């Protein structure tokens, strides 16, 4: 039995939306805390906002994606603040229509179709070109995959995976 296994982890770049949400929650917390001598209820609101910042906003903006290839399946996990792990999706190589770099000419055949776009990549376009996977005919999944990872997927589905 031919079993292949590989893990790859990529850290998601902070976007303007991530920075804005962090700054906004901090400013609101400080604002309500500064009102606490005049309005006692604002101290409770500041504590609630601080808890939301610590348990929700900061973990959701500090993301890493872990790609795992095992037994003809690509599993994508989202790791929030290096503490919580959540499985995002499992992709079976038999259901992949195409896996190619985002700048590949092979994606032109799919331009006329409407897809649900699933961005599971680092947003670092200047470092390398992400891979686009057309999955089950209705999903366009964007992944940051190294060449070794793509080679393993190509061994399982040679007519669906391209490097150009």
pLDDT mean over 137-146: 89
Q: Where are the alpha helices (DSSP H) in 11-163?
A: 16-34, 41-52, 58-61, 147-156
pLDDT digits 0-9 by tens, 19-65: 999 999 999 999 999 998 888 899 999 999 999 999 999 998 889 99
Confidence of residue 128 (pLDDT cuts 50, 70, 90): confident
Q: In sequence order, what E strands does the chain have?
A: 5-11, 63-70, 73-80, 84-92, 96-101, 116-120, 131-135, 139-143
């Amino acid at each position: 039995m031919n079993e292949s296994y590989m893990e790859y982890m990529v850290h998601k770049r902070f976007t303007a939306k991530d920075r804005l949400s962090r700054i906004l929650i901090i400013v609101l917390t400080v604002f309500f805390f500064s009102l606490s001598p005049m309005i006692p209820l604002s101290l409770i609101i500041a504590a609630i906002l601080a808890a939301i910042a610590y348990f929700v906003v900061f973990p959701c903006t500090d993301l890493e994606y872990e790609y795992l290839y095992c037994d003809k399946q690509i599993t994508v996990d989202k790791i929030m603040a290096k503490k919580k792990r959540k499985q995002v999706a499992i992709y079976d190589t038999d259901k992949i229509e195409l896996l190619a770099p985002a700048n590949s000419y092979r994606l032109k055949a799919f331009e006329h179709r409407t897809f649900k776009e699933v961005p599971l990549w680092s947003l670092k376009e200047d470092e390398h070109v992400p891979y686009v996977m057309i999955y089950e005919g209705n999903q366009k999944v964007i992944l940051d995959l190294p060449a070794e990872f793509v080679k393993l997927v190509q061994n399982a589905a040679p007519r669906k995976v391209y490097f150009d």
